[in-house]
Structure formats: C-alpha cells, structure tokens
Structure 1
C-alpha cells in the first residue's frame, strides 16, 4: 500500500500489506502529501494494474457496525476535502465492493447494488481484473470455492490501483492484502 495516500487514521504494517484503523483519535504523524486522502479513511496501493491481476483480501472483525471497502480506482480519484466523490465507488473513478455484517454491496458512479442475501459475508474476498478484456470481478472466498459476487464490464482508460476504505465504526479493524 502507498503510505503517501493513507489517511492519517490508518496505520500500515507488515511491509505495507496490512492496514489497521487506529482505535485512538490521535492521527498518525504522516507528512502532508498531495496523494493523501485527507477526509476519507482510504488508502491506495502503489502498484499500477494494467494486465490480468488477482489478489485476496482478509480481515479481522472487531466492531459491530464495520464496513470495509475493497476497491479498484484510477489514481485521479479526489483526495482532498469532504466531497462524497472522494469515496470509493462514488464517482466514475472507482469501483467498490462494500462488505459488512449485513452483506455485500457494489458501488460505482454513486450507484449501489445490494447483492443477494445468499452471499453472506466471509472474512476473505478475492478480486480479479482483466484490464485488456475490460472486466473486474469480486469473489467471496469459502473453504471450498471462489463464489463470484459481481462483475463490472468497463473500457479502462488508464492504470488502476487497488484500494481499501473504512467507515467511521471500523475502529480497530485490520485488512491484509495477499497476492
């Protein structure tokens, strides 16, 4: 993950593969940077995605009302100020799987789609991107299989970056990226 993009309520560890929402209100002492998300609890990864890519995301549940955003975004997503367009899935700059105890939502261009209740959340999801073919698929990982949750079909116009976001009730939750 890219430390320069991390909101100051997020702490990176494990060689920047794990992000944890700080429990205290004391922000991380990150320096000012144009890539830093200043109001959304979000972070982007540093590696540009322009080919076929697969990664998995695991988390540890800590709170009752948590929400995790697993996203793919252009680097040009807004980062400053309280604009709702800065949130993953709220503009044409990103695609987002929102995960909570209540289930899954997908979000793009500020349009949300609640996924079937048969897709009750697990503690791991996978993302598969085929940049040239123009599709992005989110999966639920079960002990036996990958269950496709949703596929976006897009003509991508620039490099993409994996990203993670959290709501205000996600204090203490950790998310780890694996390849």
Structure 2
C-alpha cells in the first residue's frame, strides 16, 4: 500500500484509535506528521519517523519469528518498546501467527494516539480487550511548524490497519 495521509487535519488536542494486524515479514506504521511531509521517493524525507516532520509507532514480524516487535521513531531515532501492544480481539485463539492452517486466528491490536499540540506531547497507547489504556510511549516535542498535523499510515505484506469509529 505504501504511505497514506488522512485528508483531514488533526485539531490542537485530539485522540484517535486504530486497529491493526501484522503478517510475518510485514509491518505497520501509525504516524502523526506535518501535512507538508514529502510524499515522493522512499528516502528519509518521506518515511514516517525518519525525519523531523513525523513521529511513528511501527510494528513488524520478522520472518524468523512470529513475535510482534514494535518501536517508536522520530527524526531517524528509534526506541524499541519493551513490550508490544496487547492483542485487542481475535478471530479464534490468537497465537500471534498469521498462518491460519492451524485453525487459530490472527491477532488484532488496537492503539490510541493522543496529540496535545499546545502541551507539546504525542502519546501512543495500547488498548486491551477490556478497553484499558496502557502508555507505550510519549514524545515531548515542540510542534514548531504552523502547518497542520495529520494522521498517516503505511503497511507492508498482508498486514492491515483501520481507523476506529469512536463513540
């Protein structure tokens, strides 16, 4: 799919949620970026979390492991998260493996993203199947550009990401 930006800008203080699944050899990136981020090429100018214009939560499953690995990224600085998000819901029994020939389902994860532009914080939360929020990481930053912020997503492989409808 490559990278996609939401058409609508984020407000000064906002919260949104996304569900995702990650295939073996695949990855998902959930990001907040300035609307003016470069959208051409595959270098650090356009990659979420690889420049000063974006912050991202990225999760992957390496080919040699079925375990979910997650990190947060900003301006080419990567911080590995000690524990990935907890599975949110499952089709069958979640075994963190996208090979459904064993009759078990693929894990679906849910994260919350909270932007507080005046306070200079951007927080990523894991959301459990009981809707409990656990802080994964909080960026403390100065949103210096006057350009609007927007949500961004990228996926690779058979991975998926969906915005959630908040009630």
Partner of 1:113: 79
Counting only pairs closer than 5 Å after superposition, residues 21-40 of structure 1 correspond to structure 2 as none
Deviations 1:64-107 (A, max 9, x none): 12210000000121111232321100000100000224321000
Partner of 1:44: 5
The count of aligned residue pairs is 135
The CA distance in 1 between the partners of 2:28 and 2:16, in whole Å, is 16
Partner of 1:131: 117
* RMSD (Å), alpha carbons: 1.6
Deviations 1:130-156 (A, max 9, x none): 111110000011123101000011111
TM-score normalised per structure 1? 0.69
**Using CA pairs below 8 Å that are at least 6 residues apart, which structure has the higher relative contact order?**
2
**Structure 2: unaligned runs, 5 residues or longer:** 62-67, 88-108
Counting only pairs closer than 5 Å after superposition, residues 45-124 of structure 1 correspond to structure 2 as 45-61=6-22, 63-101=23-61, 102-117=68-83, 119-122=84-87, 123-124=109-110
Distance 1:115 1:137, change over 3 A: same
The answer to whether residue 129 in structure 2 is matched with residue 143 in structure 1 is: yes
Structure 1: 4+ residue segments shifted above 4 A: none
TM-score normalised per structure 2? 0.74
- The match for 2:142 among 149, 155, 178 is 155
